[in-house]
């Protein structure tokens, strides 16, 4: 069970890396790339801290790695959605850092 959840967390990390790098390469200007890198570092610290908190419910138990990996995968999928939204947002969206121009 631990291996399955670890594999699931690893797959989420692989997808996150793909989406993050795609967004990084599409960002205009070094300021936005720096802001993305900074936000990603802060998000990774948040994910580690939050998943440590969540898995502390079964601290020192055999399910702690399962809980930590389940949290890791779930939180990572939320981040993928956040970054993917930036990759696919439409022109006119004021929160969009890489708008797709409409023909």
CATH number (domain holding residue 76): 1.20.1270.180
Indicate the average pLDDT of the chain.
92
- pTM, 2 dp: 0.89
Number of domains, the chain: 1
Residue 90 and residue 96 in contact, taking contact as beta carbons nearer than 8 Å = yes
Residue with tokens 């993928």: 80
- Residue 97 falls within a domain, yes or no? no
State the chain's maximal CA–CA distance in angstroms: 57
- Residue 96 falls within a domain, yes or no? no
E-strand stretches of the chain: none
**Is the pLDDT at 103 greater than 70, yes or no?**
no
- Residue 41 falls within a domain, yes or no? yes
- Residue 42 falls within a domain, yes or no? yes
- Residue 74 falls within a domain, yes or no? yes
Q: What is the DSSP letter of 56?
A: G
Q: How does pLDDT run across 25-69, given as a tens digit for each residue? A: 999 889 999 999 999 999 999 999 999 999 999 999 999 999 999
Q: Which domain holds residue 77?
A: 2-88
- Predicted pLDDT of residue 101: 61
């Amino acid at each position: 069970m631990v291996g399955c959840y670890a594999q699931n967390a690893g797959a989420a990390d692989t997808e996150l890396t793909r989406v993050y790098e795609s967004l990084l390469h599409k960002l205009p200007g070094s300021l936005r790339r720096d802001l993305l890198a900074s936000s990603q570092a802060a998000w990774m610290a948040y994910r580690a801290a939050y998943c440590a908190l969540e898995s502390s419910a079964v601290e020192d138990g055999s399910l702690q790695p399962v809980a930590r990996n389940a949290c890791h995968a779930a939180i990572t999928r939320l981040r993928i959605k956040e970054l993917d939204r930036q990759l696919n947002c439409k022109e006119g969206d004021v929160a969009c850092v890489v708008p797709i121009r409409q023909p």
